[in-house]
Amino acid sequence: MLCLGLVSLFLLSIIPLQTLQAQEPTTDAESWPMFHSDLGRTGSTDNIAPTTNSLLWKFQTRGLIDSSPAVADGIVFIGSRDGRLYALNMSTGSEIWSYQTGNWFFFASPAVADGKVFIGSGDARIYCFDARNGTLLWQFKTGWEVASSPAVANGTVFIGGADKYIYALNETSGELIWRYFTNCFITSPPAVMGGKVFVGGWDPTHKFYALDQSTGELLWSYGTRGIIVGSPAVVDGMVFIGEHSVPGWVDCLNASNGKQIWDYQTVVSVLSSPAVVDGKVFFGCWDKYVYALNEQTGSLEWRFKTDGPVLSSPSIASNMVFIGSDDGRLYAINAKTGDLVWSYKTGLNVKSTPAIADGRLYVGSEDSYVYCFGPGNGILPQSSATSQPGTPFLTSILAIIVATAILVPYAYIKYKDKHKDNQ
């Protein structure tokens, strides 16, 4: 019953070094291999980022884009609501290959590891492709749609499903290693760090989970006040999560035991995934603001006002915060001061989270385009999908749930704005 209640509400340590298990190689200057950059989902990189809004190219898919790009080996990978996973040349934006799945990608984003690309789809499958040519290597059938984004570590793919399970699959064969049953949908992209898998969901009992990376055994859980939509960030022995609730919350937890260190309250929901770097925690909020908090204390450093709810998650590079907004803009904000550096207006909402690699920034928009920004005057203004049209618009139960959920916090914001104007 409480899970159904989510339909009306949401419908859309310091860990000792020796305990850390070996993970995938760190992100290099030419890659952003998964949602929020790395296995800790820090959302940060040492890559150089664009200092202006110079558009190098844009590529049109056949559907809205909520998926976030991954970049590796000169290729940009991104899903679209046309049901296709696209592989684009990172320099020119031309299509290298695409693959049509049985349903759309609704926020599900790809991960790249060991020459393979992994993604979940609305057709209830988790796919693995050869990253170079799009050859399907394996697929794994779940019980419902997959809107989570995978993390790949030590030969294992970790991902959540709307069928209430968190899965660990063999990277090479797709065979099930373990799965853990929760109480509701899992759309949160898991973080993997220190031998643990950290993930939240639309849990009716409002829990955030830490599981053993090897066995899937529950190590600890934390009682939240709302549901978890975005990914956690795991940095410096701490876990940072945003809560979809009214009011909204950002929590800082001890990664070893799940004990709360601090929390920060916002007016409405935090669906954005926190990014953490240089002692600050960055996130977007339904109240139209982008926030920067002190990592150790949770105190407010600054906040930046956009003109729409912020469901995109921040990406940090070159002392700038890059994030999209439902006002249709991509923003570049000074990470220290909160001042605007540049912005770019797309044709519709920007829920996609930017990827930064090799001096360029890549992001999707609900106007159906993938955008690339970087130094220069632009080399290919526009490309478009050359493949056959994707499957017709499919009625997705999970997508209806998620989309309807947006109306609750949005209506609340509009009411607050109107009430403020009348005062």
Altogether, the residues listed in the chain come to a count of 423
Give the domain ranges of the chain. Answer: 2-15+25-385+393-422
Model pLDDT, residue 391: 40
- Range with the lowest mean pLDDT among 62-76, 214-228, 287-301, 372-386? 372-386
DSSP state of 274: P
Model pLDDT, residue 263: 98
pLDDT tens, position by position, 231-288 = 999 999 999 999 999 999 999 999 999 999 999 999 999 999 999 999 999 999 999 9
Model pLDDT, residue 191: 98
For residue 70, which amino acid is it? Answer: A
b/e per residue, 110-135, with b = 16+ CB within 10 A?
bbbbeebbbbbbbbbbbbbbebeebe
Token code pair at residue 135:
């050859």
Instruction: Give CA separation, 328 vs 69, 364, 384, 412, in Å.
Output: 17, 11, 20, 20
What percent of the chain stands above pLDDT 70? 82
Local confidence band at 377 (pLDDT 50, 70, 90 cut-offs): low
Q: Report the alpha-carbon distance of residue 362 to residue 76 in Å, rounded.
A: 8
pLDDT tens, position by position, 207-242 = 999 999 999 999 999 999 999 999 999 999 999 999
Q: Report the alpha-carbon distance of residue 32 to residue 23 in Å, rounded.
A: 15
> Residues 293-312: what's their mean pLDDT?
98
pLDDT over threshold 80, residue 6: no
Q: Which residue has the higher pLDDT, 390 or 112?
A: 112
Q: Which residues contact 418 (CB under 8 A, 6 or more apart)?
A: none
Model pLDDT, residue 9: 36
Local confidence band at 106 (pLDDT 50, 70, 90 cut-offs): confident
Q: Give the DSSP letter string of 198-213.
A: EEE---TT-EEEEEET
Model pLDDT, residue 344: 98
pLDDT over threshold 80, residue 58: yes
- Looking up tokens 């790009």 gives 69
Q: What angle do CA 154, 198, 300 make, to 5 degrees?
A: 125
Q: Report the CATH fold assignment for 2-15+25-385+393-422.
A: Methylamine Dehydrogenase; Chain H (2.130.10)
> Residues 116-139: what's their mean pLDDT?
97
Local confidence band at 423 (pLDDT 50, 70, 90 cut-offs): very low
- Range with the lowest mean pLDDT among 10-14, 118-122, 213-217, 308-312? 10-14
Model pLDDT, residue 383: 63
Model pLDDT, residue 386: 53
Query: Which residue, among 256, 273, 218, 300, has the nearest Cα to 41 in the 3D structure?
Result: 273
